[in-house]
Structure 1
C-alpha cells in the first residue's frame, strides 16, 4: 500500500486534526482534512488516538476531585504564594 502524502504534508494535517476534533475548522478545511484522513492511514490512526484521549480527558474532568486532594492543592498554592511574597 503506497502512502501518497509526504511527511511535511502530514505534519500540516496533524495540526489541523486537533482543530477538526474541537470543531474549530471552517467547513471547507474540514472536507480537505477528512479527505486526507480517508487516504492516509498513519494520520487516521493519530486522529483516532487524539479522539480517544480527548474523550478520556473529558470523562475524567467530569468527576470531582476528592476533598483531601483539593485541600493538599490549596495548601501547596498557599506555600508557593508565601515563598513568592518572601522572595
Structure 2
C-alpha cells in the first residue's frame, strides 16, 4: 500500500474522522497518519476541536438568560406588527 501523502491526508482528514471515506482511502490515510507526526498533530487538533464543539452544543443557557432572550424576541416581534 502506498503512502497517500500529507496533502491528501489533511484534505480528507474530516471525512476520515467521520468514517466517510472508502475502506481503501481509510487504510491509506491511517497508514500515513501512523508515520507522520505533523499530520498526527493536525488530527489531534481536529479531534479536540470536534469534541469541544460537541460538548458546547449540549450545554444550555442559564434560565435567566433564556428568559431575557425570549422577552427581547417578543418585544421585537410586537414592534414589527
TM-score (norm 1): 0.65
Q: Distance in 1 between matches of 2:10 and 2:62?
A: 36
Calculate the aligned-residue CA RMSD, in Å: 2.8
Q: Which runs of 4+ in 1 moved over 6 A?
A: none
Counterpart for residue 34 of structure 1: 30
Structure 2 runs not aligned, ≥5 long: 77-81
Counterpart for residue 52 of structure 1: 48
> 1:65 deviation in Å?
2.5
Count of residues in correspondence between the two structures: 73
Structure 1 runs not aligned, ≥5 long: 80-87
Counterpart for residue 15 of structure 1: 11
> 1:48 deviation in Å?
1.0
> 1:54 deviation in Å?
0.5
